[in-house]
Homo-oligomer: A and B are copies of this chain.
Amino acid sequence: MSDFLTTGLSTAVQKKIEELVLQGKLQGGDKLNEVELAEMFGTSRGPIREACKGLVQAGLLTAVPNRGVFVRKMDVREALEVYDIRAFLDQLIGQLAATHGTAQQIRELWDIHARLDKAVRADDFEAYYPENLSFHEKLLAMTGSERLTQMYLALVKELHLFRRKGLIQQGSMDVSNAEHALILEAISQRDPVKTGLAMRNHVMTAKQRLVTAIELQSVGEGLQS
């Protein structure tokens, strides 16, 4: 609740609730109780309702008239749809990054890639994960497009709603970082088209990994029942 001065109370509350959702403390389908949240944050229900309205618009919550707001439930189908969208936005990100990125920024990407490679060799996912985020955030910064950045981050948040993260995260740090290398190579050559395609491919393979992981899990469940 620190940035309450700069952005207003309802926005601060909105971020807090968003955190709860992204951390999974509020799971898909859970109902949000206004008075409960109001007491939790020490405010009245007004700002809580405004915050929820914002999160509904952002796609993290869903509202049912006269019944309240719920954490959005994302099924496999929707998750795959989001992956497709992300893939094409990433293609654009790649094109713009290769066009507008500075030499300094490209160097920093190589640095991150080196750290990622180190994590891969150590098979250290805990180290890999944050660096991977840095990699993609850096690319976003290189686009210079405010709107694209906002939209992309919103999609990433949305994917957190798909709670079988084990499926998403598990696997193939080595493959993933090999794809990073291809992206970096293309961007270093200042080839927007090649960079874009490498980025899109990067997401599509991640999507494909998810699909196969889900199929495997389904088979497993099928055997159990």
Contacts and interface: CB of A to CB of B under 8 A. Distances in A.
Given A53-B50, A58-B57, A65-B7, A145 B88 contact: no
Contact of A8 (B65, B91, B92): B65
Given A49-B50, A57-B54, A89-B88, A81 B145 contact: yes
Interface residues of A, number: 34
Contacts of A50: 49-50, 53
A139 to B, nearest CB: 15
Contacts of A57: 53-54, 57-58
Contacts of A56: 54
Contacts of A145: 81, 84-85
A78 interface: yes
Contacts of A85: 89, 92, 145, 147-148, 151
Interface in A61-114: 63, 65-66, 78, 81-82, 84-85, 87-89, 91-92, 96
13 contacts: A6-B65, A8-B63, A50-B50, A53-B57, A54-B56, A57-B58, A81-B147, A84-B145, A84-B148, A85-B145, A85-B148, A88-B88, A151-B151
Across the A-B interface, give the 4 residue pairs with the lowest CB-CB distance, nearest first.
A57-B57, A88-B88, A50-B53, A54-B57
